[in-house]
Structure 1
Amino acid sequence: MPSINIPVKTPEGVDELGSRQRKLGQRHRTVLLLVDGRRRESQVRQLAVQAGVPDQIFDELVAMGLIMFTQGTGSMPGNSGMAPLDVDLPLDTVSGPLPPSLSLQPESVLTDSMVGELPISDLVPLDEADAALDEARAILMRAVKAEAPVAGSLTLMRLKRARSRHDIEALLDEVEQRITKPFKGIWAAQTIARVRELLRTVNSPSAA
């Protein structure tokens, strides 16, 4: 079978996801999460664009030494007997209007019923009555409660106290770090992308 170049994270790239020493932005981290050693370069680039990441971010990560290429076979996952664990997530709709169910992963216990489990009375009222802003905060709270109920308790408290778009945006990297788990990188990136899409529709007073 013909060999192809498969992008993989370098040791520095793996360390960056855990240490954040280079203080990479959300878009760079999203592409790093998509590089799993199985997808071809074209597939990574396509998924990144669908998640709202400019194509050149991939090249920047290569230039920084966080992504390298290794030889792989040209066979498709169906022929190898081992299909990627997360390629079936519906990322093709991330760049457009996103339904609430898009932020959920099939195998997760994260469901809309969990909203009722959150102590809503502890929520600090938002500075403005905006449905998109309220939904963005709710998505992040459900994600943290589902994936990091103990380790993310402080993050959850900060989300409850968030009052504006600026407050929520400031917590996105922290939330991503809490909810990113092995084989769930796309879901984490997808959830953050949905929240960013919602926040772009909010007319924050600070942006005026």
Structure 2
Amino acid sequence: MERFPFTPSWGAQLESQPRVRKAQFGDGYSQRSEDGARGLLQRWSLQFTARRKEEADAVDAFLRAHRGVAAFEFVAPDSAWGVTGQAFGIGDGARTQFLLQRPLAPDATVDELVPAVGWEAAPLVYRAGVLLAEGSDYSLAPSGLVTFSAAPPAGAQLTFTAAGAQVLRVVCERWTSTLKGFNAYDVSAEFQEEAG
């Protein structure tokens, strides 16, 4: 699937849109449930401010080629992350499962960890500085859960190296382009995440 190659200006707006089924009963009660496995979709309002004509035309050409029906990949703003030698546990000789976690932001404290998901390539996992082989030494779930085939020995430092971002499958049904001055264009677009 093709990826949207342009970076929006600061000020992108995110609107979350829950997909909900609602059954209304005669006694005034209602029942709600998520509609499908992807019950919360994102809608991004993006601005590409003061762009040269060539870039504004390229954004327009990309969106025209997809015509509001063909989905494409979009990297959510400010979602890219990368870690090198990130600690995620210490072996105790018994435990076999550990969760890959990364700092919330580059300058975050040790207490501000979030699951390391959305990686571009499978993380490299190390035990006491030695690179392990996925499939034989451990298995890795999309949630970031690492299951070792044998419990890491007591005191063995567990680390990983990886990079990723939140990549959404979106469509763009509406965009505008405005001439702001000599060779300065503003483009506005709305990207709607697809459920599938």
Q: TM bucket by the smaller chain? A: under 0.3
In terms of fraction of residues, the more helix-rich structure is 1
In terms of fraction of residues, the more strand-rich structure is 2
Higher relative contact order (CA 8 A, sep 6+): 2
TM-score normalized by the length of structure 2: 0.21
TM-score normalized by the length of structure 1: 0.21
